[in-house]
Amino acid sequence: MTFAKHLQPNITSGEVPNAPTRNGYGDGLLEAGKRDERVVALAADLTESTRTNLFAEAFPKRFVEVGIAEQNMASVASGMAAMGKIPFIASYAMFSPGRSWEQIRTTIAYNNANVKIVGAHAGVSVGPDGATHQAIEDIALMRVMPNMVVIAPADEHEARKATLAAAQYEGPVYFRLGRSATPVVTTPESPFEIGKAEVLYSRNETLEKKVGIVVTGSLLYNALKAAQQLEADGIGASVLHMATIKPLDTEMLEKFAIEHDTLMTVEEHQIAGGLGSAVTEHLSNVRPIRIERIGVADQFGQSGEPDELIAHYGMDVSTIVKTARSL
């Protein structure tokens, strides 16, 4: 087994810190604001929950509280982008892009406006808020939109880097954030580049069975732990971290597929329309291979504790291991 050298030093023992990815967004937005005075921020009555408050406190004249009006927020941001600003709009993913999808499509994506859309509290790990507030369709909604970049950061550090990268990228970007504290796998030194995937766990090449795990978002930690367990069971498993779902790193994905007998995709999202769909759509044309998709299987979420829900919907370490053994 080989972990990427830039990961947390205690990753092998599982003793890693925990923090919400939204914290990384707050830190990254504040830093982006200090670097570039064109950066502005808008919120829809969820300033503190999305961690936009850090920016608002530092740059009150560059912050707009639009109230509970996500559709208006998207349109206002498009106008600000047309005037040379770099707007970041943040709300819960259920409301943005959920409620404001048409405005995002028509005023932002259609015009290739330089607006960054932040969907916080995504996935079932929102927990007790329940199905109405658990966005598990947002990647699909945004991936089909022309001109849109789609990112699912793995942890706090990567969310900060994604925010800074989005500020420098010319065009619309969507990235999803979580509410709950999740394992911080990467470090401040770990690389991040829009559109680039990276193998973070390389399999033991002496083992005959070869399973490749493609993962996005905060389930990266579960995928890494599953790969460790599989190796102990005599199964060679590698983990490809795909923080950017669109544009897909097709070169890395094809290479990864060639090196394995079967693939698995792991995401905290519906298995339809998300990472699993993006991977299978591409490989079906260039490198047909058996792919097992792990995620939410055509269901809504429900209330519960985050870890309970991750296990209930089959995205925990034990289910990933069990699925890999069956391939």
C-beta of residue 60 within 8 angstroms of C-beta of residue 12: no
Number of Cβ within 10 Å of residue 212's Cβ equals: 26
Residues with Cβ within 8 Å of 29's Cβ and at least 6 positions away in sequence, in order, are 39, 41, 51, 52, 54, 55, 88, 163
- Residues 57, 65, 70, 198: which is the catalytic one? 70
For residue 323, what are its two tokens? Answer: 């699925």
Q: For residues 262 and 227, give the distance between their C-alpha atoms in angstroms, rounded to a whole number.
A: 14
3-state secondary structure labels for all residues of 134-167: CECCHHHHHHCCCCCEEECCCCHHHHHHHHHHHH
Dihedral sign of CA atoms 92, 250, 275, 27 in order: negative
205 as an active site residue: the answer is: no
Place of tokens 């391939």: 327
DSSP state of 310: H
- The amino acid occupying position 317 is V
The long-range contacts involving 55-61, CB below 8 angstroms and separated by at least 24 positions, are: 55/26, 55/29, 55/30, 55/88, 58/30, 58/33, 58/34, 59/33
Residue positions annotated with a catalytic role: 70
